[in-house]
């Protein structure tokens, strides 16, 4: 009993330690739980660990009594550049690599069988996030303001000081799952979301902000909210399992310190999403899984609204802008992200009683179009293709060690800056690639 208490205390301390994550399918993670991460994220029709609250709540009743505790070392490499600006003179050309390239992303899951047909558990995981941390000094403020300010260093978006954002999202998903019969189960997970955000170096956007005093450099702010995920899993034949799960939009409170940045006075909800899954036991030792996921970014104005200024009249140089389409307005400027379709393919091969090998591929639509590149210097979530590898090793009859690796191939998007609020001309380019290496330990009780 004391060991279980120590494990739980360590899990809580790890989960609530400061962490920042940039995710891969837009800003969602490519997978939840180290087993899924080794299989390209495919998990909807699988029942391997205690992350059903993130993947499919119905899977938890097939897992048994179990604890999973893991951490991922995540490394996103982000950069941005501008060429051909200022009528081809290059006066506002520049490039920058984002710093802060390593992040620890913890995860924790617990499940307990109440009786043979009912389980109660919890999944705690980083849903995703975004982070950029560009240094200042790429541009000259004299050029940014066309001579209306003294010379001095400016960042790529003509603001002062460092440029970037930091968003972290954590979800706690208590989960109940029930076996309808020996082949089918259903589950439900109330979702408690917590998020933290800060922004720096955006003062050049004051003229199109509805509240310039709550636009940038306000330190960290946080918000919380609720949603729900429901799921079904069914064994159709002895070798074929299907799964489906749906998550509502998580209605989050507002970032009051950034009500002049995000649409609807600082609102930043977590988007609705759903997933379908198929798992086939192709051979006695080989299982192949395929997931389809849809993430509806369009349901959140601060994410999906165009970065083009629609319904906003700038008030140079310090604002506030006039109109509901200004930053922070009721229909304010957003990042222009589109809904994405994600395909996740994974394979698991059981070598022997102790060793299981995994591999996977994950492909996501790119949510960012060329018209919105400049604003997404802050959030270059453009990677699309991911390869994964993983393995589990049975340390004992009641414990396993699982490792997962992911590489997201470099992808870039280019576009012209919006002349209405950033009249510099030329072409902006954002690009990113990623690596992650995670390890998890599980106890079967």
189 neighbors 218 (Cβ within 8 angstroms): no
Residue 52 has pLDDT above 90, yes or no: yes
Predicted pLDDT at 3: 45
Q: What is the mean pLDDT of residues 48-64?
A: 97
Q: pLDDT class for 130, splitting at 50, 70, 90? A: confident
DSSP 374: T
pLDDT of 150 reads 59
Using pLDDT thresholds of 50, 70 and 90, give the confidence band for residue 422.
confident
> Is residue 292 within 8 Å of 254, Cβ to Cβ?
no
Q: What is the value of pTM for the model shown?
A: 0.93
pLDDT score of 30 more than 90: yes
Which residue(s) pair with 115 in the sheet? 118
> Is the model's pLDDT at 6 over the cut of 80?
no
Question: Cα separation of 337 and 375, whole Å?
Answer: 11
Q: Is residue 21 very low, low, confident or very high in pLDDT (cuts 50, 70, 90)?
A: low
Residue 37's pLDDT band (boundaries 50, 70, 90)? Answer: very high
pLDDT category at 23 given cuts 50, 70, 90 is low
Instruction: List Cβ neighbours of 198 (8 Å cut-off, separation of 6 or more).
Output: 165, 166, 218, 219, 220, 221
- What is the secondary structure of 223-273 as a DSSP string? EEEEEEEEEEEEEEETTEEEEEEEE--BEEPP-GGGTTTSHHHH--PBPEE
Please tell me which residue, 419 or 353, carries the higher pLDDT value.
Answer: 353
Residue 4: CB atoms within 10 A of its CB come to 12
Weakest mean pLDDT among 121-135, 314-328, 387-401, 414-428: 414-428
188-223 pLDDT, tens digit each = 999 999 999 999 999 999 999 999 999 999 999 999
Q: What average pLDDT score do residues 418-442 get? A: 90
* Residue 11 pLDDT grade (very low, low, confident, very high; cuts 50, 70, 90): very low
319: pLDDT strictly greater than 50: yes
Give the pLDDT confidence score for residue 10 in this predicted structure: 47
Quickly tell me which residue has 């978006």 as its tokens.
157
Query: Element (H or E) spanning 293, and its range?
Result: strand 286-296
Element containing residue 8 per DSSP (H, E): helix 2-15
pLDDT surpasses 70 at 294: yes
Residue 1: band (very low, low, confident or very high) from pLDDT cuts 50, 70, 90: very low
User: What confidence tier does 442 reach under pLDDT thresholds 50, 70, 90?
Assistant: very high
CATH T-level topology, domain 2-444: Porin (2.40.160)
Q: Please state, rounded to an integer, the average pLDDT across all residues of the chain.
A: 92
Kindly report, residue by residue over 154-176, the tens digit of the pLDDT: 999 999 999 999 999 999 999 99
Provide the pLDDT for residue 18.
Answer: 47
- Per-residue pLDDT, averaged over 271-294, amounts to 98
Residues 222-244 have pLDDT tens digits of: 999 999 999 999 999 999 999 99
Phi and psi, residue 416, nearest 5°:
-85, 140
Q: What are the domain boundaries of the chain?
A: 2-444
């Amino acid at each position: 009993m004391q060991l279980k208490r120590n494990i739980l205390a360590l899990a809580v301390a790890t989960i609530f330690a400061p962490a920042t994550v940039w995710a891969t399918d837009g800003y969602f993670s490519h997978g939840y739980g180290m087993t899924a991460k080794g299989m390209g994220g495919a998990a909807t029709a699988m029942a391997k660990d205690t992350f059903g609250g993130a993947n499919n709540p119905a899977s938890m009743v097939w897992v048994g009594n179990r604890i999973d505790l893991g951490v991922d070392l995540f490394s996103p490499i982000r950069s941005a550049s501008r060429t051909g600006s200022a009528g081809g003179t290059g006066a506002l050309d520049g490039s920058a690599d984002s710093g802060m390239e390593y992040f620890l992303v913890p995860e924790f899951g617990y499940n307990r069988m109440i009786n043979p047909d009912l389980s109660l558990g919890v999944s705690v995981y980083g849903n995703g996030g975004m982070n950029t941390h560009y240094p200042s000094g790429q541009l000259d403020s004299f050029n940014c303001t066309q001579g209306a300010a003294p010379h001095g260093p400016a960042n790529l978006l003509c603001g002062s000081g460092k440029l970037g954002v930091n968003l972290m999202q954590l979800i706690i998903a208590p989960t109940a799952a029930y076996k309808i019969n020996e082949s089918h189960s259903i589950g439900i997970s109330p979702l408690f979301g917590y998020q933290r955000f800060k922004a720096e170096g955006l003062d050049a956007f004051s003229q199109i902000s509805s509240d310039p005093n709550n636009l940038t450099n306000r330190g960290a702010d946080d918000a919380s909210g609720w949603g729900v995920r429901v799921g079904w899993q069914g064994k159709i034949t002895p070798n074929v399992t299907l799964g489906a799960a749906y998550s509502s939009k998580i209605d989050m409170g507002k970032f009051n310190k950034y009500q002049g940045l995000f649409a609807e006075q600082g609102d930043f909800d977590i988007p609705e999403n759903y997933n379908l899954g198929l798992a086939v036991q192709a051979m006695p030792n080989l299982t192949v899984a395929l997931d389809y996921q849809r993430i509806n970014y369009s349901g959140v104005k601060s994410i999906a609204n165009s970065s083009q200024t629609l319904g906003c009249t700038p008030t140079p140089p310090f604002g506030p802008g006039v109109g509901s389409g200004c930053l922070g307005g009721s229909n304010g400027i957003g990042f222009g992200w589109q809904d994405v379709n994600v395909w996740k393919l994974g394979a698991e091969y059981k070598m022997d009683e102790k060793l299981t090998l995994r591999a996977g591929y994950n492909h996501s639509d790119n949510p960012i179009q060329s018209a919105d590149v400049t604003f997404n210097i802050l959030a270059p979530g453009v990677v699309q293709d991911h390869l994964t590898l993983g393995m589990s090793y049975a340390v004992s009859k009641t414990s396993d060690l699982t490792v997962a690796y992911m590489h997201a191939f470099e992808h870039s998007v280019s576009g012209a800056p919006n002349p209405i609020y950033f009249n510099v001309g030329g072409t902006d380019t954002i690009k990113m690639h990623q690596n992650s290496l995670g390890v998890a330990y599980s106890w079967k009780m």
